[in-house]
Structure 1
Amino acid sequence: MKSSIQLANRFREVILNGKWIANTNVQDQLRNVTLEQAVTEIDNLNTIAKLTFHLNYYISGVLNVFEGGNLEIRDKFSFDLPKMNSEQEWSDLTTNLFSNAEKFANHVEHMSEEKLNAEFVNTDYGDFRRNIEGMIEHSYYHLGQIVLLRKMLDQ
C-alpha cells in the first residue's frame, strides 16, 4: 500500500472512523454531545468545544496549504472559539471539522512520495509527511482529552 494511502487512513482513523489505537475516534466521541456539555468548563481545562475548534483550526490551516494557499494559522489563535449560542452553531462546528478532515485525508491520499518528502512551507516545518504525522499525533492527544472530559461530565 502506498504510504500516502496509509497516512490518509491513519488520519481518518483518529478523526472519522477508527477504533484500532484508542477503540474510539473524535467523531464517535462528539456524537450526541450537546452544546451544554461541549461548553461546560471543568476547572481550568479546555472545553470539548474549544478542543473541537482547536482541531478544526489546525486541520483547516494545513488543508489550506494542501490546496495551494499560505499557512495562515497561528498558535496564539488556535483556541479562540467564538461564544456559541445555539445547538446549530455547535453542530456546524462539528460538521465543519469532519468535512475538513475528509478533505484533508483525500489530499493526503493522492500525494506522491515526492510531495510527501517535499518541504512544507519552509525548512522550519520539515516535510509534508512530518506535518501529516504530526497532525495524526496531535489529534490523538486531543482525542484523549475529549474522552476524559466526557467521562468527567458523565459523573
Structure 2
Amino acid sequence: MKEERSVNENFSSMILYLRKKKNMSLREVSDVTGIDPAYIHKLEKGKRTSPSYPIIEKLALAYGVDTVDLLEVSSNNSGRSTVSLGQLLLSNNFTVDGVDDFSPSAKKALLDLIDLIVSFTWDKESMFEDIYEAMHAIDDLKQELYG
C-alpha cells in the first residue's frame, strides 16, 4: 500500500502567516503564483496536505522567503526533537519585520518579554501592573534593537 505524502501541520499556519504579513489577498497570491485561490485557501486551512515542490517554490517566491525555509516548515521529519523557544532563538539567526541583526542581548530581551507575557495572570486585579511590566520589557527590547 502506498504511503500518502503530507506536510507538517505547521505549514498551513506558516503560509497563512506569510500571506497576512505581506498583506496579500488570496487573489493577489494567485495572480503572482498562478495557483488557484481555492487551493491556496485549502492549504492554509490544512485541508490540502500534499503540495508539490513547484507549489511550495511559487509560494516562497510570492512571500519573499527562501524555498528551503518553506520546505523545512513543510517537512514531517519526525526525527527532530522538541526544543525550548530559548534554545531555538538563541541558536539561530532570524529576522522580524526587517530587523535582521538580533544580537544576543536583543534575543535575551525578546525571550524576557515572552517569558513575562507567559507568566501574567491577566486578571482584573493584576492587569494594569502586567501592562506596566510589559511596557518596560518592550522598552528594553527596543533599546537593544535600536539603541
Instruction: Answer yes or no: same fold by TM over 0.5.
Output: no
Which structure has the higher relative contact order (CA within 8 Å, separation 6+)?
A: 1
- TM-score range relative to shorter protein: under 0.3
Structure with the larger helix share: 1
TM-score, normalisation: structure 2: 0.24
Larger Rg: 2
